[in-house]
Chains A and B, each alone.
Chain A
Amino acid sequence: KNQVEQSPQSLIILEGKNCTLQCNYTVSPFSNLRWYKQDTGRGPVSLTIMTFSENTKSNGRYTATLDADTKQSSLHITASQLSDSASYICVVSDNAGNMLTFGGGTRLMVKP
């Protein structure tokens, strides 16, 4: 069964600090992995998408990494801002791109 596990479930950090969110998956065969940011009361918004051959991708202060061998991904947030407070969802597609498996998300709170 395809699964995506995210950790931690929730995280509180101080403004300006860095943090790293983890995503482990068992989806096979693998096509791509996406990170979404979901603000409270809003729909998810795509941050990054990585295919099998990519091991890192950046979007501003967000940097995602992918290790397809260990089936792990991380999302690193640099110099956090209050607006980074949100849920971050990891989504993995199978080889045909026909099945998306969503992780449960990590709820990040950035405090001043």
Chain B
Amino acid sequence: EAGVAQSPRYKIIEKRQSVAFWCNPISGHATLYWYQQILGQGPKLLIQFQNNGVVDDSQLPKDRFSAERLKGVDSTLKIQPAKLEDSAVYLCASSLDLQDRGTDTQYFGPGTRLTVL
């Protein structure tokens, strides 16, 4: 079974530039999550989707971050404009169904490491 795919793996940009990350979840997984993980810290949830609908985006800095999952499969996360403090690893995860989230396992992708100079 293929895992969660993310690209690019690494990205270096200057502040005020824009950047986009792509995630392809495990086939058949209805729920998709984007996390931000700053070095030395645990992941922080940015947004979660159930199919193509947003379930929770309460911690997404909406003035600069946006995410979409138009067809309920792939997802993109965009930052515009980037700030120095956005330097982090952006993890995408998927699980079968939000309804089973209480005991449902999330499968994580390898992440995209963003460095903002």
Residue numbers of A with Cβ under 8 A of B are 4, 31-32, 34, 41-46, 49, 51, 89, 91, 93, 96-98, 100, 102-105, 107
Contacts and interface: CB of A to CB of B under 8 A. Distances in A.
Interface of B: 4, 40-45, 56, 91, 93, 98, 100-111, 113
B42 A103 contact: yes
Contacts of B93: 43
Given A43-B4, A89-B42, A31 B102 contact: yes
14 contacts: A31-B102, A32-B103, A43-B91, A43-B107, A43-B108, A44-B91, A45-B108, A46-B107, A49-B103, A89-B43, A97-B101, A100-B45, A102-B44, A104-B40
Given A43-B108, A43-B109, A93 B102 contact: yes
Given A89-B43, A98-B101, 15 more contacts: A31-B102, A41-B111, A43-B91, A43-B109, A46-B105, A49-B103, A93-B102, A97-B101, A97-B103, A102-B43, A102-B44, A104-B41, A104-B42, A105-B42, A107-B40
Contacts of A89: 42-43
A100 B102 CA distance: 9
Contacts of A42: 108, 110-111
